[in-house]
Amino acid sequence: MGSDMATVPLNGAVIAGSHNAEIGLPDGWRILAQGGSAVEAVEAVTRVVEDNEADHSVGYTGFPNLIGDVQLDAAIMDGARRRVGAVGALEGYRHPITVARAVMEKLPHTFLVGAGAARFADEIGQTAEDLLTDETREIWRSGIAGHLPGKLEMFRGPLAQLTALAADPEHVHGTVNVVARDAQGDLAVAVSTSGWAWKYPGRIGDSPVIGTGIYADNRYGAAGCTGLGEVSIRGGLVRDIISRIAAGQDAEAAARAAIEDLLPIALDFPDSAIMNTILLTPDGQVRSFTTGPALQHVSMRAGDEAPVRSDSITVAWPGVELQR
């Protein structure tokens, strides 16, 4: 690290995220190492992932919905004051996490969706653009056209007939989660996603739903999740984890119990349900969990020259066999 970073007392600062956050983690760590806030750091990492053209689950180049529109969800939470900001079904702006942070800091509200979220993005100076690239357009067309009785352009039936395509296990899962503890001991978490590929227009998953896909409280921890949002929404996963810690459970035991409690819900989606969770404790310990195949999270703290990969803890969901 540069000498300017070494002069800042880091006091247990750490930043961590889902595996796809690796590309942006150094940017977030640089902010923490220079004395910046956890909120600033998690937004910075998330923005890099949203810009990553190789990641079709987040931001620019995210997979579109059934009718070919890219709709993005994001949320950010400040564990010091439990302030939150979220956006859902945002079209035409590649950085929903920045819009979510502006909701948290500039409005008396916590959640904007659709046209209102887009209007606000324009008001805060975000640049509008077409997020559907040639590559994702072709993936979209090939992904659903073969399931239609005729040409895609000629389909006039109810879109609900096509929602089964949104359970395509090759395209369902994907979100970026980032958690951080700054030198002041404050926690923050950010989540951003383009959601299920080929989803029904307007569908919002767990990512921007506070307490379901994201939560932070300096007293007990910060957490976010990825996977099949319909499952975590029905179980209030992330708030459940934090509540169990508040009640005295060990962090790992709390996460395991909360994820295991979702099994009856997950069995409604036996071929596509999966849940990945990352948890940061107030003292800066990071753990991640998955119900699916082997997975890793990434983290950086004092002394790390690059993101460090760590294995996720596997939590079994008997009867759920993710089809790949």
3-state secondary structure of 56: coil
CA 283/CA 260 separation, integer angstroms = 25
CA 239/CA 44 separation, integer angstroms = 24
The bridge status of strand 286-290 relative to strand 187-193 is unpaired
Question: Are the CB atoms for 189 and 223 separated by under 8 Å?
Answer: yes
Active site residue 226: no
Among the options 46, 136, 175, 290, which is catalytic? 175
Question: Are the CB atoms for 18 and 297 separated by under 8 Å?
Answer: yes
Question: Are the CB atoms for 187 and 222 separated by under 8 Å?
Answer: yes
Phi (first) and psi of residue 71, to 5 degrees: -120, 125
Question: Are the CB atoms for 109 and 102 separated by under 8 Å?
Answer: no
CA 285/CA 301 separation, integer angstroms = 11
Give the residue numbers marked as catalytic.
175
